Structure 1
């Protein structure tokens, strides 16, 4: 089996904000992961990635808040997308007074 895209989209979230969502079904789990998905979810504000979920080979599942990196427990693609959306909303709510 070749890798095949499951999700590949860019969502406009607000002024100068978008989310890039890329999820692939891969033949074997990446080193450090226990599931057959390769993913990169990024929330970009004013050209800066402020939130990213990914499972880079060797590092396993994790998420970035700015420069901070935290482990992430992958359960399913659906839960991954829900968790990312919740963190994205949390960032937006916590930065509602930012200057554009």
Structure 2
């Protein structure tokens, strides 16, 4: 089986752009133990502000500004819900500035 795209969207959001791409892959991307490869990003003026991904060698993690922390992947649906919750919080913070 080849990698199959499960979901893709790119659209304006807040003062930036959101791009979400999720693939189902035949083998987990080490050290992740699930069959998905993903990239979810919110960028403003070409700079990543928020991002979730599972890079080979790093596993599931997220970027909030310059800070990076591990992320516990449960499902593609939960991944998108967690990203959107962080995104809404971030955009709310932008309007408070």
Same fold (TM over 0.5): yes
| 1:20 is aligned to 2:19 | yes
Match of 1:63 in 2: 62
* Structure 2 residue matching 1:85: 3-state secondary structure: helix
For the residue of structure 2 that corresponds to 1:55, the secondary structure is: strand
Q: TM-score, normalised to structure 1's length?
A: 0.92
User: 1:4 aligns to what?
Assistant: 4
- Which structure 1 segments of 5+ residues have no match? none
How far apart, in 1, do the equivalents of 2:55 and 2:33 lie?
13
Within-5 A mapping of 1:6-85: 6-14=6-14, 16-85=15-84
Instruction: Provide the rounded CA distance (Å) in 1 between the counterparts of 2:28 and 2:42.
Output: 24
Give the TM-score of the pair, scaled to structure 2. 0.94
Query: Which structure has the highest strand share of the two?
Result: 2
Unaligned runs of 5+ in 2: none
* Root-mean-square deviation over aligned CA pairs: 1.0
